Amino acid sequence: GAVVSQHPSRVICKSGTSVKIECRSLDFQATTMFWYRQFPKQSLMLMATSNEGSKATYEQGVEKDKFLINHASLTLSTLTVTSAHPEDSSFYICSAVSDKTEAFFGQGTRLTVV
Amino acid sequence: QKEVEQDPGPLSVPEGAIVSLNCTYSNSAFQYFMWYRQYSRKGPELLMYTYSSGNKEDGRFTAQVDKSSKYISLFIRDSQPSDSATYLCAMGNTGGFKTIFGAGTRLFVKA
């Protein structure tokens, strides 16, 4: 299957700082990328849909000013958690959709805010 | 009512057993149905992908979709300890492929 690389895999940051997570499709172009959040023992919750060259569409309850998404190219989307707080600690996962409409997931980023 | 319902388990079976995992859904517009396997602290891995109704088989895995009942299943034959993971059903419709996930079923296969 296609490869989606997510970086970093693990990050610890201080409360109040910002963290950027990258999601790259390595061997295909992804016009659409999705960002999910997963709390322990819970399912993936869609945060936002990112389309190349346009503003992201956020799900209800997700603060767009806190979770900044940029999809500048067909192979890269970034999620920036701004002014992080301990309650933002979670597992963040991206997925990218190929032209065959299959979604491939990154390996996830475990964010811990201390 | 959630769009996708999935029993979180845990489900514990002996090695070699046939495992049946299920999800129900409420949105009749869903056309794509997937099963993902997720190991602890890892991203989900696509196992099976089915469009519309019917069965699909891949090795020890069989996916079934019954759109009339809004019910999908994943069967694992000859289960192995390495199959121990969380299995997430997911589905979506056309136009952007927005995927909705079930809660995931935690499976333990005992040697």
CB spacing of A105 vs B96 below 8 angstroms: no
Cβ neighbours for A15, distance < 8 A, ≥ 6 positions apart: A84, A85, A86, A113, A114
Cα atoms in the 13 Å half-sphere on the side-chain side of B87? 28
**pLDDT over 90, % of chain B:** 59
Q: Give the integer Cα–Cα distance in Å for B27 and B13.
A: 31
What is the tens place of the pLDDT at every residue in A4-58?
Answer: 999 999 999 999 999 999 999 998 888 889 999 988 777 788 899 988 888 899 9
Q: What are phi and psi of B76, to 5 degrees?
A: -120, 115
Selected residue of B45, B49, B93, B98 to mutate for chain A interface (largest A Cβ count, 10 A) = B98
Report yes or no: A92 and A21 within 8 Å, Cβ to Cβ: yes
pLDDT of residue B95: 53
Which of these, B32, B21, B34, lies nearest to B75 by C-alpha position? B21
Give B99's contacts in chain A (Cβ within 8 Å). 34, 46, 95, 103
What is the tens place of the pLDDT at every residue in A48-104?
Answer: 998 888 889 999 999 999 999 998 888 999 999 999 999 999 999 998 887 666 678
SS3 of chain A: helix, strand, coil, percent, to 5:
5, 55, 45
